[in-house]
A and B are shown apart, each in its own frame.
Chain A
Amino acid sequence: MIENVGKNSSNPLLHSSKLFFSVRQSCPKNRVSRTKTHNCRSFSSSEASLRSDRLCASIAPSPSFQFPSPASANMVLEATMVCMDNSEWMRNGDYVPTRFQAQADAINLICGAKTQSNPENTVGVLTMAGKGPRVLITPTNDLGKILQALHGLEVGGEMSMISGVQVAQLALKHRQNKHQRQRIVLFAGSPVLSEKKTLESMGKKLKKNNVALDIVSFGEDDGEKVEKLEALLNAVNSNDNSHIVHIPGGDRVLSDVLISSSIFTGDGEGGSGFAAAAAASAAAAAVGGGGGAYDFGVDPNLDPELALALRVSMEEERARQEAAMKRSAEDSTAKGQQAGESSSVPDVAMSDAAPVKITDKSSDMMIDDDTALLEQALAMSMAEAAQAAAAAGGGAAVTDTSMAESGGDDQDLAYALQMSMQEAAAAATAAQGSADVNQVLGDQSFVSSVLSSLPGVDPNDPSVRDVLASLQAEEEEKNEDQAGKDKSK
Chain B
Amino acid sequence: MASCLHQHDCEEHECAGDWSLFKNIDIPGVTALNEAIEESAKSVFKPWEQRLDLSTVLASNDDDPELIVFIPFTTDVKIKSICIIGGVDGSSPSKMRAFLNREDIDFSQANDLTPIQEWELAENIRGELEYTTKYAKFQGVASVTLHFPQNFGANATRLHYIGFRGEATKVRSLLSRPSSLIRVDWRNFPS
A445 and B188 CA atoms in complex are apart in Å by 70
Residues in B147-191 with C-beta less than 8 Å from chain A: 177, 179, 183, 185-191
Q: Report if B144 contacts A (CB, 8 A).
A: no
Task: With A173-B106, A178-B104 as known contacts, state yes or no: A308 contacts B61, CB within 8 Å.
Answer: no
Count of interface residues, chain B, beta-carbon cutoff 8 Å = 22
**In terms of DSSP, what is the predominant structure of the interface of chain B?**
loop
A9 and B38 CA atoms in complex are apart in Å by 41
Task: With A7-B191, A70-B188, A71-B185 as known contacts, state yes or no: A208 contacts B107, CB within 8 Å.
Answer: yes
Measured between beta carbons, the chain B residues less than 8 angstroms from A304 are 187
Size bin of chain A's contact surface: 20 to 34
In whole Å, how far is B180's beta carbon from the nearest beta carbon of chain A?
13
Q: Report if A75 contacts B (CB, 8 A).
A: yes
Residue ID in chain B nearest A7 by CB atoms: B191
Task: With A209-B33, A210-B33 as known contacts, state yes or no: A70 contacts B103, CB within 8 Å.
Answer: no
B107 touches A70 (CB 8 A): no
Residues in B47-74 with C-beta less than 8 Å from chain A: 61, 64, 66
Cβ 8 A contact of A10, one of B61, B179, B191: B191
Measured between beta carbons, the chain A residues less than 8 angstroms from B186 are 119
B61 touches A207 (CB 8 A): yes
Cβ 8 A contact of A70, one of B61, B106, B179, B185: B185
Measured between beta carbons, the chain B residues less than 8 angstroms from A9 are 191
Q: Report if B34 contacts A (CB, 8 A).
A: yes
Cβ 8 A contact of B187, one of A8, A70, A209: A70
Measured between beta carbons, the chain B residues less than 8 angstroms from A6 are 191
Measured between beta carbons, the chain A residues less than 8 angstroms from B33 are 208-210
A178 touches B185 (CB 8 A): no
Task: With A119-B186, A173-B106, A238-B38 as known contacts, state yes or no: A208 contacts B191, CB within 8 Å.
Answer: no
In whole Å, how far is B26's beta carbon from the nearest beta carbon of chain A?
13
Measured between beta carbons, the chain A residues less than 8 angstroms from B190 are 10
Task: With A204-B64, A238-B38, A239-B38 as known contacts, state yes or no: A308 contacts B106, CB within 8 Å.
Answer: no
Measured between beta carbons, the chain B residues less than 8 angstroms from A209 are 33, 106-107
In whole Å, how far is A121's beta carbon from the nearest beta carbon of chain B?
12
User: Taking beta carbons and an 8 Å cutoff, which residues of A are in contact with B?
Assistant: 5-10, 15, 70-71, 75, 119, 173, 178-179, 204, 207-210, 238-239, 304-305, 308
Not counting A5-B191, A238-B38, a sample of 16 additional A-B residue pairs whose C-beta atoms are within 8 angstroms of each other reads: A5-B189, A6-B191, A8-B191, A9-B191, A10-B190, A15-B191, A70-B187, A71-B185, A75-B185, A178-B104, A204-B61, A207-B61, A208-B33, A208-B64, A239-B37, A239-B38
Q: Which 3 A-B pairs have the closest CB atoms?
A: A10-B190, A208-B34, A178-B103
